[in-house]
């Protein structure tokens, strides 16, 4: 009988042996995450008008191609099993690739849809190699090292970490804005906000104070209003969710509280919007975002079912023709609509957007229930990643974006659900209390009985 390629390779590249080399694979995983945060773009693509025209460089494309190849190699050697929830990761990029049949930019849709598929395969490899207890420290330290290197390069005067603001605005400390080793000052601020929240949850003592302070320092240096806002929102939500977990607030009660909190925030924004925008150096259109949103909604309604195809509208002749008649965009090449939900509606249609809303609602509910039952930092961290990406997605294009750290983080929160389910069969607080009662009532003086009980209920 003919042997498959995998069967031929298994004796040489044994998966068990590969798992023993995990310590050598962790740097690769960290580099991939740093690249998704924009490190390769900063180092290999020059900043300025020439880079806008060229779009990329050979070294940049070769570096990412190497990461794709290593990801695929790990996939073939490890062969992680495809679980039911994994289809939530794999089907969207397949849809993006398929959209090339009706896309106005078919080559872009097929090419970059394939890139998103490689990103999802990386997440499955990551889940196979990194257990939950090791995942969050790896993400935090990857971001923290990237931030520290960015700050050092900034004060040494390296221009590659500066942000060239067309409006010549200063950062929140009054100096030159920086993007650091991230692809933009906005994403730099947002990733640092996520890093600060994760460090706040998982670190303790002086390390927590220093890590959160370092992340906040880069947020201020970047001048990212979104990053600073998400830092405040993230830390506040973390405290409120911890309080809700301690008091035993159920998920639906948390949703009600969140709804009224959003109303209160909107009322405050209405009262002090002009003062806040003036301090942040923003105009009432949020640097043209409201104009983009109105444009995006109109475009989405032109093709409400199928959409224009993945990356099929912005950059096309249709979009360029309209942008020429919008005064705010005469000197600005519009990259996207600065709103993930509008972007998804334009590219993939309203039915897909509805499914994304359902998935995100289910995702946050699942992780809150896990935190409600177990009061663990991992569940809280996954919940905060989901919430922060969902909130920031209203003003950023960060959902289902190729080679993007936010997209990868959301995929991680989905991929690790099944891992947590396998290690935590308890699904309700009553069942959890019953399990604790069973353990307390059993005579554990006998080593054999104790071992059997721990194996059955652990």
How far apart, in whole angstroms, are the C-alpha atoms of residue 421 and residue 369?
Answer: 12
Judge whether residue 254 has pLDDT over 70: no
d(CA 184, CA 177): 10
Query: If we measure between CA atoms, which residue out of 389, 370, 343, 342 comes closest to residue 429?
Result: 370
- Region 250-276 average pLDDT: 62
Q: What is the DSSP string of 149-217?
A: HHHHHHHTT-GGGB---TT----TTSS--B-TTSSSHHHHHHHHHHHHHHHHHH--HHHHHHHHHHHHH
Cα angle 28-34-36, degrees, rounded to a multiple of 5? 105
Please tell me the predicted confidence (pLDDT) of residue 447: 56
Query: What is residue 7's predicted lDDT score, i.e. its pLDDT?
Result: 45
Q: What is the pLDDT of residue 234?
A: 93
pLDDT at 280 over 90: no
273 or 364, which is more confident? Answer: 364
Q: What is the mean pLDDT of residues 163-169?
A: 75
pLDDT at residue 117 is higher than 80: yes
Mean pLDDT of 239-254: 74
Mean pLDDT score of the chain:
81
Please tell me the predicted confidence (pLDDT) of residue 15: 46
Output the pLDDT for position 244.
79
Look at 230 and 429; give whichever has higher pLDDT: 230
Confidence of residue 383 (pLDDT cuts 50, 70, 90): very high
Over range 17-35, report the average pLDDT.
Answer: 77
Q: Is the pLDDT of residue 1 over 50?
A: no
Which CA distances in Å does 350 have to 103, 312, 340? 16, 15, 13
The predicted model gives 262-276 an average pLDDT of 59
pLDDT in tens, 433-443: 555 554 455 44
pLDDT of 349-370, one tens digit each?
999 999 999 999 999 989 998 9
């Amino acid at each position: 009988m003919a042997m498959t390629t995998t069967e031929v390779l298994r004796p040489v590249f044994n998966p068990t042996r590969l798992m023993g080399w995990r310590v050598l694979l962790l740097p690769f995983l960290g580099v991939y995450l740093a690249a998704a945060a924009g490190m390769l773009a900063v180092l290999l693509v020059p900043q300025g008008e020439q880079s806008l025209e060229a779009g990329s460089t050979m070294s940049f494309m070769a570096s990412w191609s190497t990461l794709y190849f290593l990801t695929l190699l790990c996939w073939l050697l490890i062969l992680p099993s495809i679980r039911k929830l994994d289809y939530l990761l794999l089907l969207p990029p397949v849809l993006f690739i398929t959209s090339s049949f009706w896309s106005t930019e078919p080559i872009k849709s097929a090419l970059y849809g394939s890139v998103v598929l490689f990103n999802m395969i990386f997440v499955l490899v990551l889940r196979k190699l990194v257990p939950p207890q090791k995942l969050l420290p790896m993400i935090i330290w990857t971001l923290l090292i990237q931030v520290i290197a960015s700050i050092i390069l900034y004060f040494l005067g390296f221009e590659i970490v500066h942000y060239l603001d067309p409006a010549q605005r200063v950062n929140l400390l009054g100096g030159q804005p920086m993007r650091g080793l991230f692809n933009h000052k906005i994403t730099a601020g947002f990733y640092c906000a996520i890093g600060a929240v994760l460090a706040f949850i998982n670190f303790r003592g002086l390390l927590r104070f220093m890590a959160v302070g370092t992340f906040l320092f880069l947020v201020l240096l970047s001048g990212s209003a979104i990053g600073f806002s998400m830092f405040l929102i993230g830390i506040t939500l973390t405290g409120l969710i911890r309080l809700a977990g301690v008091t035993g607030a159920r998920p639906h009660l948390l949703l009600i509280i969140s709804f009224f909190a959003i109303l209160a925030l909107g009322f405050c924004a209405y009262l002090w919007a002009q003062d806040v925008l003036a301090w942040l150096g923003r105009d009432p259109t949020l640097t043209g975002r409201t104009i983009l949103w109105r444009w995006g909604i109109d475009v989405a309604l032109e093709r409400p079912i199928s959409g224009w195809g993945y990356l099929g509208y912005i950059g096309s002749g249709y979009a360029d023709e309209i942008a020429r008649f919008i005064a705010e965009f005469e000197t600005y090449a519009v990259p996207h609509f600065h709103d993930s939900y509008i972007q998804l509606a334009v590219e993939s249609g309203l039915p897909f957007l509805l499914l994304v809303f359902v998935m995100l609602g289910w995702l946050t509910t699942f992780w809150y229930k896990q935190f409600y039952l177990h009061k663990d930092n991992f569940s809280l961290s996954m919940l905060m990643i989901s919430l922060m990406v969902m909130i920031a997605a209203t003003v950023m294009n960060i959902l289902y974006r190729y080679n993007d750290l936010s997209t990868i983080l959301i995929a991680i929160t989905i991929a690790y659900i099944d891992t947590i389910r396998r290690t935590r069969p308890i699904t309700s607080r009553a069942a959890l209390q019953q399990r604790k009662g069973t353990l307390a009532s059993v005579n554990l003086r006998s080593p054999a009985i104790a071992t059997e009980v721990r194996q059955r209920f652990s």
